[in-house]
Structure 1
Amino acid sequence: MQTSRSGILFIACREALVLTAYADGPHPSIGFGSNNPKLKVGDKITAKAAFDLLKDDIAKRESVLNKALKVPVTQQVWDACMSLHFNTGSRYIWDVVKLINAGDIEGAANLFPECDRNLAGEQKTGLHKRRLLEQTMFRSGEYGALDPIPYWPGDPRTTRMQQYYVQEGDLDV
């Protein structure tokens, strides 16, 4: 299974777009949170290139999720799981997948709000809000607003946030 266009846009809206690489952990980050040891702080990309990186990053996670899920799921369940997996890595997704595979879809949906802690174990309001949106998507297929995307032309810590509206050709799915 693959992430839908709406699922990709949901992730993009929650990750935000940064077109200039900035220091973010062990490697610089660019686009929608892509990082690579070859990147240098200050490197620039286009929105189209950022969406291509996002699709590549999602595809890597899709292969893992496809292997883990042993039962068919709806597109909305897949997209919600992919957003959780994209944002948190493997920390929370396996508990959700285990319940889905056991046929406990409601139990899996109920886990989303509990997956709201950062790596330091601190509960974060922004993560909690995102988990509630993912839970809504999981249950009802409602993806919420998919445009505009929060956008920073430079380092998000030093430049002002703007809004980016997806252009024709930015996201070929």
Structure 2
Amino acid sequence: MNDYDYSAVEKVLGAEPESIAEMPEEIRAKMKTVLETIVVRTDEDRKELYNALDLLWQKGSVLATLNDVSKATGIPYATLSNLDFDTQQVIVFEYLADSGDIKKIYMFTNSALAVIELEKVAKLITVPVRELRGLPRRIQEQMCGAYAMEYDSDSTNADLITELREMMQP
């Protein structure tokens, strides 16, 4: 992204160009795409542009800080960047609040990793993921563990589907 693009994002968001420059290239490329695709003719267009850029700015800010978290904790950046956005925000908040409490950051990371396959489980058993998120955490973790250990991409996974559905029963 060139300087013009940074100044356009700065103008829309009121952000410093340096903060945008520190963001991952993927985020900056998406910002550029937003700037090129949303034509501002009305206040509604202006609001849409702002909201799209603001969401990307938030995500980029979190990802930039996760890089610092990775360096401080030894948790691979790839692991942190693959967590859900809510967990990423919690980790960044905790890190900024107390960068020395590495144990807490590991706790949040491990907790998120324990249920990272939940969307895949939901898709496999054709149950809305929000329904699975309503289950006790222990059951979510068991389901994700079973999925991770037993899923076979070359199979119908009929036994696994039955097992996962049974886990949902009280």
TM-score by length of 2: 0.31
* Higher helix content, 1 or 2: 2
Higher relative contact order (CA 8 A, sep 6+): 1
Larger radius of gyration: 2
Bigger share in strand: 1
TM-score, reference length from structure 1: 0.30
